[in-house]
Structure 1
Amino acid sequence: MTRLKLGRIPDERPVKLTIEVPAPLHRKLIAYGEALAREMGETDPIPPAKVASPMIAGYIDSDKEFAKLWRSRETP
């Protein structure tokens, strides 16, 4: 079985954010949510909004230049 990059999605209190994505990306998010649910042994697919959030977080967390900027703005 393929190991997807996302693991179990934490159940945290969400902040509503509305975005528009191209239709091809939406289809991929749906397919990813279906694959992730199967991998986690769940019967219902994970909705695109729940899949997109950790993907965006992972992307931001992996950006080293952004991390430098983020740390520099957090002065004690």
Structure 2
Amino acid sequence: MIKAKIDKKLELKFRELAMRRYGYSKGAISRAVEDAILKWISLVEKEQISFEGDPIEAIKGILSDVKFES
């Protein structure tokens, strides 16, 4: 389950459009949210993610404050 706080006007517009598209029955909002998330995931996955530099050094930097004990 995902819970999120969004702008009230955005929520009302989303609910209105979701019910128009999926009907005024139970589950319309859930279907619209799933559809929106799937579209967002598809869009983001298509974006080219690039990383410059040595990934090992980046990981070392991220973990520099972590204390390791054996």
TM superposition score normalised by structure 1: 0.48
- CA radius of gyration, larger in: 2
- Tell me: higher relative CO, structure 1 or 2? Use CA pairs within 8 A at least 6 residues apart: 1
Instruction: Point out where structure 2 has 5 or more consecutive residues left out of the alignment.
Output: 51-70
1:35 aligns with 2:20: yes
Compared with structure 1, are the counterparts of its residues 20 and 50 closer, same or farther at alpha carbon in structure 2 (3 Å cutoff)?
farther
Runs (4+) of structure 1 exceeding 4 A deviation are none
Compared with structure 1, are the counterparts of its residues 37 and 65 closer, same or farther at alpha carbon in structure 2 (3 Å cutoff)?
closer
The percentage of counterpart residues that share the same residue type is 12
Indicate the residue corresponding to 1:59 in structure 2: 40
Report the aligned-residue RMSD: 2.4
- Supply the distance in 1 between the matched residues of 2:21 and 2:3 (Cα, whole angstroms): 23
Q: Which has more helix, going by share of residues?
A: 2
TM superposition score normalised by structure 2: 0.51
Instruction: Point out where structure 1 has 5 or more consecutive residues left out of the alignment.
Output: 1-15, 70-76
> For residues 1-76 of structure 1, what are the structure 2 equivalents within 5 Å?
16-38=1-23, 44=25, 46-47=28-29, 49-63=30-44, 64-65=46-47
Provide the aligned length of Structure 1 versus Structure 2. 48
The answer to whether the Cα contact below 8 Å between 2:22 and 2:32 also exists between their aligned partners in 1 is no
